Amino acid sequence: MATSKPTVRNSTESILGAAWQRRGILACLLWPPSLLFRLIGALRRALYAAGWLRSTRLPVPVIVVGNIFVGGTGKTPLTIWLVQMLRQAGYVPGVISRGYAAPSTDGKPSVQHVSATSLAAEVGDEPLLIATHGQCPVVVGRNRVAAAEALLQAHPEVNLILSDDGLQHYRLQRDIEIMLFDSRGVGNGWLLPAGPLREPASRRRDFTIVNAASIPSSMPAASIRMQLAGEHAVQLADPAQVRSLSDLRDPALRLAAAAGIGNPQRFFSMLSAAGLVFEALALPDHYDFSDNPFAALTVDLILITEKDAVKCRQIETIKHDPRIWVVPVTAQIDPALSHQIHQILEKLRGHPTA
């Protein structure tokens, strides 16, 4: 949601974000209600495990890519990487996500199919980015079972479902769980509201991916490192115009960088590592740009994320601004991950593996 002062993060979010990195006074005051949150979560998981709450098995394998850390950790680039990796391995993947599917008017679960021409305000910025770069079927809906069933009905060629987020959506049975963290690790290790975790750090999963330059000590020894790499920028108004980030080190250029993602510092750190000096503009996650945060900037170039670009391209007052350049990123992940996932999926298909 947009704010009247887009140049600063939401103050409550900032205060909690800082408190969640240590077990200080505020975190300790919030610890008692976190025990109730933990109990409710454990009871819900137990009810699904015992069959008291119904879950659904799809006719194709399901991989859930999610996090237990509140906020963004880099799920969308990882999901796009997985789509491409699985396609190269011979699969036909489709993606489901919560997105912003419109409310239902007939009593049935609401779902919406996403295409490269969908409006970010209607389907969500992340699903739109996946549909654009992943070149695969994408369906959004709060009920991920309904979204997956709608996807399979519309695209019977799909033989594997990727769920973008949804670790806590236990109604959908899954074959592989990938849990993603970043440089913040597990924070103070406590659950909401005393800490940043939706579920205990000890929660089972098949793979742990850490989106960071180095893996924090709080992560399991078997964690796999991932980094988001960007080497060039593309002009928003004219995508034919491309400049390498190294070209932007010119001290005469006045630069700004803006990011409306879960952890803007990750984007800023990547640009700093490329040798750029800039004014940082941290926006709330999923910022809708209804108020133009760039209008008052007196700079030559403004660097933004691809996630923000899918919305900016659909806003008349922004999309023609020649100062705005998009920095595409790609996920760089240990090749061992693709090999391990491929082996698991081959076993699910009944094929012997080496």
DSSP string, 268-284: HHHHHHTT---EEEE--
Report how many helices (DSSP H) and strands (DSSP E) the chain contains, helices first.
Answer: 11, 15
Query: Rounded to whole angstroms, how far apart are CA atoms 236 and 19?
Result: 37
Q: Locate 144 and state its tokens.
A: 């991920």
Q: What is the pLDDT along the chain (354 residues), one digit of tens a residue?
A: 333 334 444 566 778 888 999 999 999 999 999 999 999 999 999 999 999 999 999 999 999 999 999 988 889 999 999 999 999 999 999 999 998 755 665 666 789 999 988 999 899 999 999 999 999 999 999 999 999 999 999 999 999 999 999 999 999 999 999 999 999 999 999 999 999 999 999 999 999 999 998 999 989 989 999 999 999 999 999 999 999 999 999 999 999 999 999 889 999 999 999 999 999 999 988 899 989 999 999 999 999 999 999 999 999 999 999 999 999 999 999 888 888 888 888 878 775 544
Report pLDDT for 354: 43
Q: How far is CA 145 from CA 24, 173, 270, in A?
A: 40, 9, 36
pLDDT digits (tens, 9 = 90+) for 214-240: 999 989 989 999 999 999 999 999 999
Q: Locate 109 and state its tokens.
A: 């679960």
Report pLDDT for 3: 34
Report pLDDT for 339: 86
Report pLDDT for 345: 87
Dihedral over alpha carbons 233, 301, 116, 146 (to 10 degrees): 100
Please check whether residue 140 is in contact with residue 98, taking contact to mean a CB–CB distance below 8 angstroms: yes
Query: Rounded to whole angstroms, how far apart are CA atoms 314 and 322?
Result: 15
Give kind and range of the element (H or E) at residue 229.
strand 224-229
Query: Rounded to whole angstroms, how far apart are CA atoms 142 and 307?
Result: 20
pLDDT digits (tens, 9 = 90+) for 35-71: 999 999 999 999 999 999 999 999 999 999 999 999 8
Give the chain's end-to-end CA distance (angstroms, integer).
50
Query: Rounded to whole angstroms, how far apart are CA atoms 305 and 264?
Result: 9
3-class SS shares of the chain: helix, strand, coil, % to 5: 30, 20, 45
Q: Locate 181 and state its tokens.
A: 């963290």
Please check whether residue 60 is in contact with residue 158, taking contact to mean a CB–CB distance below 8 angstroms: yes
Report pLDDT for 349: 78
pLDDT digits (tens, 9 = 90+) for 128-151: 999 999 999 999 999 999 999 999
339 Cβ contact list (under 8 Å, min separation 6): none
Name the 3-class secondary structure at 53: coil
Query: Rounded to whole angstroms, how far apart are CA atoms 140 and 160?
Result: 16
The closest of 305, 298, 292 to 279, measured between CA atoms, is: 298
Report pLDDT for 105: 55
